[in-house]
Amino acid sequence: MANILESKSGTLVDPKRIAMASASNIIKKGAFYNFSIRLDSDDIREYSFTDRARAEHMRKILISHLEQRIIKKFKRAN
């Protein structure tokens, strides 16, 4: 089930979709599989792996961590 949050003003927020949109696709550059995650407007983290399966697994983990961070940040603001 989706974890959709509602702000005081009535705006609906889906943290999972926001987190997914903050992560780039996995791209192969040379021998490495790269992706990046935008934590804030000025904080972008880039990750490189030699194995695509590891890159996909870590991307899923980091997206779930970012989702939890967004939920906590949203609840503090409301």
- State residue 73's pLDDT score: 87
- State residue 60's pLDDT score: 97
Helices (H), the chain: 15-22, 52-77
- pLDDT tens track, the chain, 78 positions: 467 887 777 788 889 999 999 999 999 999 999 999 999 889 999 999 999 999 999 999 999 999 999 889 888 877
What's this model's pTM, rounded to 2 decimal places?
0.85
- State residue 2's pLDDT score: 60
Q: What share of the chain is helix, strand, coil (3-state, %, to 5)?
A: 45, 30, 25
- State residue 66's pLDDT score: 95
Angle between helices 15-22 and 52-77 (to 10 degrees): 130
Strands 12-13 and 5-6: antiparallel
Contact 47, 38 (CB under 8 A): no
